[in-house]
Amino acid sequence: MSKFWISSKADENLYTIMSELDIDRPTALKLALAKGLVEVGTVREPKKIKDHKREIPLDAVVKDDFLLIKHLIINQIQRPLEDAEIVPYVAHYINEGLAIMAEEINHLSEMDNYLLYLVTKHGKGD
């Protein structure tokens, strides 16, 4: 399967999220993808990653969920995509999701729990 890149800043954000939530890399990447899809919305063309830091196998994120993720992305961008076209969108939404999550973590006080913040923010059906 394909691979994609995350930026240096996204790599730092990934470790922040893994540490904050005490989760492994694939889980953090899946959360970042979901966060990116929810928060970023429609994208005409995914941003090109100029600062390649870490190469990640697509399989580490999508595994058995490729078709589901493909259609979530298609739903967001409102146009059909071939399988090979999914990779840049996955990279885009993950990089954006990592940035959003890191920003949210930075705005929490030391007494706040990011997992509870996520449940409160996204668990209400907003």
For residue 103, pLDDT over 90 is answered with yes
d(C-alpha 114, C-alpha 42), whole Å: 25
Average pLDDT of span 100-114: 83
Q: What is the pLDDT of residues 34-88, one digit of tens each?
A: 999 998 877 777 777 777 778 888 888 888 899 999 999 999 999 999 998 999 9
Mean pLDDT estimate for the chain:
86
User: Do residues 98 and 27 make contact, with C-beta atoms less than 8 angstroms apart?
Assistant: no
Contact (Cβ atoms closer than 8 angstroms) between residue 90 and residue 69: yes
Question: 94: closest CA among 24, 20, 22, 9?
Answer: 9
